[in-house]
């Protein structure tokens, strides 16, 4: 789950309301990767928020199950980082889910990975041929 928050509160909702929304929908994504993103860092960064606005957010920021990132869609700072982290976490989650399923054991029983045994002291590096046209 990728939750995008507006610390500048230009969206019309306070940080407390945004955190309440996050906490209300979070159970729907139990056992799923969670990323909480502070957007609009070109206007205000999380560390620049007044203490009274930081307090409701600290529970999310300190949660080890939630990755907290910052970005600005206007200046594009951090946008690629958010995309990469979201893709990486989703891929990892899918691989872990597949590994826990029964289908993996069926598939693994049909696989054989050959590992050549060394027959002398010669080092043989892998060779991947180039494309031929």
Instruction: For the chain, give every domain's residue range.
Output: 2-102
8 Å CB contact between 117 and 110: no
Options 3.40.710.10, 1.10.1670.40, 3.40.50.300, 3.90.79.10; CATH for 2-102 is 3.40.50.300
Distance, CA of 49 to CA of 43 (rounded, Å): 11
pTM for this predicted structure:
0.69
Tens-binned pLDDT, residue by residue, of the chain (133 aa): 999 999 988 889 988 899 999 999 999 998 889 999 999 999 988 888 888 888 888 888 888 888 999 999 899 999 999 999 999 999 888 888 877 776 666 666 677 777 778 888 888 787 777 776 5
């Amino acid at each position: 789950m990728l939750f995008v928050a507006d610390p500048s509160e230009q969206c019309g909702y306070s940080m407390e309301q945004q955190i309440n929304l996050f906490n209300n929908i979070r159970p729907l994504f139990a056992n799923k990767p969670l990323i909480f993103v502070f957007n609009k860092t070109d206007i205000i960064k999380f560390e620049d928020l007044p203490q009274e606005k930081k307090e409701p957010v600290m529970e999310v920021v300190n949660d080890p199950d939630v990755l907290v990132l910052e970005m600005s869609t206007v200046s594009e700072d951090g946008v690629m980082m958010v995309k990469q982290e979201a893709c990486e976490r989703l891929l990892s989650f899918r691989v872990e889910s597949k590994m826990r399923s029964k289908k993996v054991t069926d598939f693994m029983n049909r696989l054989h990975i050959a590992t050549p045994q060394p027959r002398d002291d010669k080092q043989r590096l892998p060779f991947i041929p180039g494309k031929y046209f």
